[in-house]
Amino acid sequence: MTNKNMKYHLVYGREYLDSSEKYDPYFYSYSTIFRNVPADLVPTLMSFKDKIKNYCDKNYKEEATNFQNRTVVKILSNKEYYKTYKDVYGESTLGTDSNNLFEDYGQRYNTRQFFKYDFNPEFTNLYSYENLNNLNKEKHYGN
């Protein structure tokens, strides 16, 4: 966390069971709480990470019956948060879908439970469906 231009993202995840999945039946569903956090605010986030997790655990409105009673709060870098299928699989037969985001952390939504603030909404707009295929990620990752 030494690059002052880097942005970080605080996400809350809940683990679920997909009984139809044979080899890896467990998955996390994530919600972004803070997006595009400047590097100088990350120590503050780290100090509140456990409190944030406890608050989310206590106040989450759960409707799913396959919740596994495991949760996590993570701080992700831009490379993790905005990773695309192309980043994971390289140039392949994915075609135009290769620039879709690989993980769903709620990058494009401000409506999921506990979302609080986007420190740079213009940056987030770069990752809209319209802009993803035209994105020069090296320029925008901050490293």
Of the given ranges (28-37, 47-56, 81-90, 92-101), which has the lowest mean pLDDT? 92-101
Question: What pLDDT, on the 0 to 100 scale, is given for residue 131?
Answer: 61
- Is the pLDDT assigned to residue 142 strictly greater than 60? no
Question: What pLDDT, on the 0 to 100 scale, is given for residue 95?
Answer: 60
Instruction: Give the confidence band of 138 by pLDDT, cuts at 50, 70, 90.
Output: very low
pLDDT: which is higher, 115 or 99? 115
Instruction: Give the confidence band of 143 by pLDDT, cuts at 50, 70, 90.
Output: very low
Question: How far is residue 95's CA from residue 2's CA, in Å, rounded to a whole number?
Answer: 35
pLDDT, averaged across the chain = 84
**11 φ/ψ sector (left φ>0, alpha ψ -120 to 50, else beta):** beta
DSSP-assigned beta bridge partners for residue 15: 28
Q: Which residue has the tokens 């780290």?
A: 46
